Structure 1
Amino acid sequence: MNRDQLEGQWKQIRGEAKRQWGKLTDDDINEIDGSHDRLVGKIQEKYGRTREEAEREVSHWGTAEA
């Protein structure tokens, strides 16, 4: 999923993001607020991923959902 899609559709996909990354709390989801960089950062923080791994997960998540 690209940055524009993430930001534009965040309200609709926030539940899907929480299901995909179950360690994200409601507060995390609210803090991310559609920001690609914040989502990647939270995935890094919660799952111990590198930036590249987290970026790849977000990108593949979007294509897998399409």
Structure 2
Amino acid sequence: MRLKEGKNNHTYVVEKIQIELNLERRLEALGLTEGSKITILNNDKKGAMTVKFRGTRFALGRRIADNIFVKEEAA
């Protein structure tokens, strides 16, 4: 599923990032890579979504969130 389809306060594991190389490298530099855990803090379906990974909160635009594929973290 796409990250933008995720629910608030749920943690997911990044499976794939399909975005322009420069943005992918920027996300990589921030610590968001395949296999990373990411928690959605606020996904109100409008504007940027707030997420947390590697202990830091970030705002991700819809276009970026639409190109990050995740799966639910195993309980």
Bigger relative contact order, structure 1 or 2 (CA pairs below 8 A, ≥6 apart):
2
Structure with greater strand percent: 2
**TM-score, structure 1 as length reference:** 0.35
**TM-score, structure 2 as length reference:** 0.33
Question: Which structure has the greater CA radius of gyration?
Answer: 2
